[in-house]
Structure 1
Amino acid sequence: MGAVIVAGTDTGIGKTVFSAGLTRALGASYWKPVQAGLEEETDSETVARLSGRPVLAEVYRLRLPASPHLAAEREGVEIDPARLALPQVAGPLVVEGAGGLMVPLTRRLLYLQVISGWRAPVVLCCRTALGTINHALLSLVALRAAGCRVAGVAFIGEEAEDSRRVIREIGAVRDLGRLPLLETVTAGTLEAGFAGIDVDAIREVL
Structure 2
Amino acid sequence: MSIHVVTGTDTGIGKTVFAAGLAAALGAHYWKPIQAGVEPDGDKEEVARLSGLPASHILPEAYRLNTPASPHLAARIDGVEISLARLALPQVDGPLVIEGAGGLLVPVNEQLLMADLFAHWGQPVILCARTALGTINHSLLSIEALRARNVRIAGIAFIGEPHEENERIIPQLGNVRSLGRLPLLDPLNPATLAAAFASHIRLSDPFNGR
TM-score normalised by L of structure 1 = 0.97
Query: Could you list the per-position Cα deviations for residues 158-178 of structure 1 after superposition, in whole angstroms to 9, with x for gaps in the alignment?
Result: 011101111011111101000
Q: Which residue is 1:201 aligned to?
A: 205
Please give the residue correspondences for 1:27-106 in structure 2 after superposition, counting only pairs within 5 Å: 27-53=27-53, 54-106=57-109
CA distance in 2, matches of 1:70, 1:180: 32
CA distance in 2, matches of 1:22, 1:118: 19
CA distance in 2, matches of 1:105, 1:117: 13
Q: Which residue is 1:115 aligned to?
A: 118
Query: Could you list the per-position Cα deviations for residues 82-120 of structure 1 after superposition, in whole angstroms to 9, with x for gaps in the alignment?
Result: 110111100000000001000101122111111111111
CA contact (8 A) 1:26 1:199 kept: no
CA distance in 2, matches of 1:85, 1:147: 19
After the TM superposition, which of the residue ranges 87-96 and 100-109 deviates more from structure 2?
100-109
TM-score normalised by L of structure 2 = 0.95
Counterpart of 1:93, as a letter, is L
CA contact (8 A) 1:121 1:148 kept: yes
Percent identity, aligned pairs only, is 60
Counterpart secondary structure, 1:134: helix
Moved over 3 A (4+): none
Q: Which residue is 1:192 aligned to?
A: 195
CA contact (8 A) 2:182 2:200 kept: yes
Counterpart of 2:24, as a letter, is R
CA contact (8 A) 2:155 2:177 kept: yes
Counterpart secondary structure, 1:199: coil
CA contact (8 A) 1:50 1:187 kept: yes
CA distance in 2, matches of 1:149, 1:105: 20
Task: Point out where structure 1 has 5 or more consecutive residues left out of the alignment.
Answer: none
Counterpart secondary structure, 2:38: coil
1:11 to 2:24 alignment: no
Shift of 1:199: 1.3
In the alignment of these two chains, the number of paired residues is: 205
Task: Point out where structure 2 has 5 or more consecutive residues left out of the alignment.
Answer: none
CA distance in 1, matches of 2:167, 2:140: 11
Counterpart secondary structure, 2:5: strand
